[in-house]
Structure 1
Amino acid sequence: MALHISPSFWKILPELRYEPTPRRIRAQLGGNTVVDSTHAVLAYEPRRVTPIYAVPAGDISAELTAAAPDGDPLAGVPPEALMDPRYPFSAHTAPGQPLDLRAGSHELPGAGFRPEDADLAGYVLLDFNAFDRWLEEDQVVQGHPRDPFHRVDALDSSRAVRVHLDGQLLAETRQPLLVYETMLPPRTYFPRGDVDWDVLNASTFRSVCPYKGTANYWSVAGHPAGTDLAWSYEAVLPDSAQLKDRVSFFDERTEVYVDDIKQEITSLFRF
């Protein structure tokens, strides 16, 4: 029987997974290199979809001590929340020992985690956000480590696409850029000139994607579903240069029509 690949991904989601990387991985604090490893792995805790770096303890130039217990970090956490890469590192879903790190004058409570797993014996998982800067070889990594099994494909199209919020037209184009990203819903990126800027207000919210760059957001004022509804990658990474000067909307909170056919938006996530 043929194997349907994407459902297989969700079947292994509850497991602790890892993938070795041949790249040199470094982390810096205050201009000093605290982590320097050529034996790193990308580790995925159970129910997490984005990886974190794990390195041999000997590749960390810091004192590692057991962290004091701090209650149950998973209490009341819905399964889908753990899939958000912004969710706290401290919400560990695998058995193991949280660790505090001390490097010179820098103290990083709970920034390490030693899993109880034979395949990762001697490795320490590290909180990406606890360090000032991460490097793969000499390239800065933003947001979180890149997943080697993740693709982002941006394709020009001539399909007619329009997006509404409760019937109010927000954008309409015959020149969409369709972005297909692994395990995520397709996104339509509109030329700026095809967006109704009179209904959008700039937001203070920003997000960082390791594949695309840093995004600015806009909201539709006075609408409960309009907060941070649209975004554009103002600081685009080289691999996603096509997204420059394009604007996208959350399909999940809007009505989207492609060639005059209303789209049924379904989540790809399975819990």
Structure 2
Amino acid sequence: MGLSWQQGPLAAGAIGHFLTPEPLPERLLFAEPLRRRMRVRFGGEWIADSEDVVLLHEPGRYPVAYFPRADVDARALVPSGKVTRHKDLGDTSWFAVSAGGRTTERAAWEFTALPGHATELQGRIAFAWRAMDAFYEEDERLLGHAADNYHRIDIRGASRTLEVRRGDTVIARSEHPVVLYESGFAPRWYVPRADIDASALTPVEGQTFCPYKGLCDYYDVGEARRAAWSYRDAYREVDRIGDLVSFEPDQVEVFLDGRRLYLEPGQKVVPHGVDRGLDAAEVHAR
């Protein structure tokens, strides 16, 4: 998912490699101007508001936004006296965040002994995503994490034959599936419900959340647990897969033009936890 997460180019599980004569460092961090207005809300109050945010991409992490101190309400930051050491960026001083009658410990941090090659993070504050009430770009709430400029989704219609089987039973067969290409992942194939034996899908409790697609529902297929899923109310940016169903090729047999598909290395999705105070109604409102 993007530059440094899952199989992105800066992630530990990257599927590609840089064409350089010498090996790169084991870890590469990338910082860049966000060039979007971002705001942070906590305790019912705005505690940060900036058009000068720097986004840090760190291997194995979602992008993290760093705000200039001048754009952060100084009253909201309470030094905790706690200092840890980041393996790449040095000493890290921690703050409690206090506003609106509420205080949360270790909810913000600042790098205070940066190496010379990382001075763009000097004097900047980052906030723990789930500790805050919400993050916004302009007047719209961001869900999940700061937007990754390198995460992309493309959806294409196809005239190929996709068949899903469980043993000798055909669960689905479509001659017009839809394929979703997402940064860092192998293609995912989606099938219209009209091409699926609905009796083979058993809805299960529990949803996951994708910051780019919305809430995901799951289904058992026979004894195969959570072998299928659907974004029933997909975000408008990806509404072409709305209410379509995709199947896990390691749980059931999935064939594309007669060729069986298998789960590719690194393909397994790491579910994203929900944000503080986020409910299904707000996700659907997107």
Short-chain TM bin:
0.7 to 0.9
Code of the residue aligned with 1:99 in structure 2: it is F
State the shift of 1:26 in Å.
Answer: 1.0
Task: Report what 1:267 is aligned to.
Answer: 265
Change (3 A) 1:94 1:214: farther
TM-score by length of 1: 0.76
Code of the residue aligned with 2:59 in structure 1: it is P
Give the secondary-structure state (helix, strand or coil) at the position aligned to 1:129. helix
Structure 1 CA distance for aligned equivalents of residues 44 and 184 of structure 2: 36
Change (3 A) 1:242 1:165: same
Structure 1 CA distance for aligned equivalents of residues 58 and 81 of structure 2: 19
State the shift of 1:264 in Å.
Answer: 3.9
8 Å contact from structure 1 (residues 161, 173) kept in 2: yes
TM-score by length of 2: 0.73
Structure 2 CA distance for aligned equivalents of residues 244 and 204 of structure 1: 19
Structure 2 CA distance for aligned equivalents of residues 181 and 195 of structure 1: 24
Task: Report what 2:133 is aligned to.
Answer: 132
Do residues 46 (structure 1) and 59 (structure 2) align?
A: yes
Aligned mate of 2:249, from 247, 251, 255:
251
Structure 1 CA distance for aligned equivalents of residues 82 and 221 of structure 2: 44
8 Å contact from structure 2 (residues 43, 99) kept in 1: no
Equivalent pairs counted in the alignment come to 242
8 Å contact from structure 2 (residues 43, 98) kept in 1: no
State the shift of 1:12 in Å.
Answer: 6.9
State the shift of 1:93 in Å.
Answer: 7.9
State the shift of 1:263 in Å.
Answer: 2.2
Structure 1 CA distance for aligned equivalents of residues 24 and 170 of structure 2: 39
Task: Give unmatched runs, 5+ long, in structure 2.
Answer: 1-14, 268-286
8 Å contact from structure 2 (residues 43, 101) kept in 1: no
Give runs of aligned pairs for residues 105-144 of structure 1, distance below 5 A.
105-115=101-111, 116-117=113-114, 118-144=119-145
Code of the residue aligned with 1:241 in structure 2: it is D
Q: Which has the larger radius of gyration?
A: 2
Code of the residue aligned with 1:238 in structure 2: it is R
Change (3 A) 1:250 1:38: same
Identity of aligned residues (%): 29
Change (3 A) 1:52 1:164: farther
Give the secondary-structure state (helix, strand or coil) at the position aligned to 1:7. coil
Change (3 A) 1:250 1:143: farther
Change (3 A) 1:155 1:222: same
Give the secondary-structure state (helix, strand or coil) at the position aligned to 2:190. strand
Task: Report what 2:275 is aligned to.
Answer: none
Code of the residue aligned with 1:147 in structure 2: it is D
Task: Report what 1:26 is aligned to.
Answer: 39
Do residues 56 (structure 1) and 68 (structure 2) align?
A: yes
The CA RMSD over aligned residues, in Å, is: 3.1
8 Å contact from structure 1 (residues 100, 111) kept in 2: yes
8 Å contact from structure 2 (residues 188, 246) kept in 1: yes
